[in-house]
C-alpha cells in the first residue's frame, strides 16, 4: 500500500469530505462506473485520521474550508 511505498519520513496528503449539502441530490442523480446510483458516505475527520494513523502514519495538520465540506490533511511516515 501507500505506507509501504513511502520512505521513512515521507509525507502522505489526504482529502476528505466530512459533510456535503447536496449528498442526497448526488445519490439520486449521478451514477457510478456500473451505471448504478452513486453511493456517497461522508466520513468524519476523526474517522479519516484514525484510518490514516492505523496504517502507521502520524498526522501533522488539517485544513478545512469555511463551510466544513472539504478538508486536506498531511501525515508523515515515522523515521
Nearest CA among 21, 18, 67 for reference residue 43: 18
The per-type count for the chain, helices as H runs and strands as E runs, is 3, 3
Share of the chain above pLDDT 90, in %: 80
- Are the beta carbons of 77 and 6 closer than 8 angstroms? yes
How many domains does the structure of the chain reveal? 1
What domain range includes position 49? 2-76
pTM passes above 0.85 = no
Cell numbers describing residue 62: 488539517
Rg (CA), the chain: 15
pLDDT for the residue 38: 84
Q: Over the stretch 5-52, which tens digit does the pLDDT of each residue have? A: 999 999 999 999 999 888 888 888 999 999 998 888 899 999 999 999
Q: Over the stretch 43-58, which tens digit does the pLDDT of each residue have? A: 999 999 999 999 999 9
Amino acid at each position: 500500500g501507500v505506507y509501504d511505498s513511502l520512505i521513512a519520513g515521507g509525507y502522505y496528503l489526504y482529502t476528505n469530505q466530512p459533510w456535503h449539502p447536496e449528498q442526497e441530490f448526488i445519490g439520486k442523480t449521478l451514477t457510478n462506473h456500473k451505471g448504478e446510483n452513486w453511493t456517497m458516505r461522508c466520513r468524519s475527520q476523526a474517522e479519516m485520521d484514525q484510518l490514516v494513523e492505523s496504517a502507521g502514519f502520524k498526522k501533522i495538520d488539517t485544513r478545512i474550508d469555511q463551510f466544513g465540506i472539504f478538508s486536506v490533511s498531511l501525515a508523515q511516515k515515522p523515521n
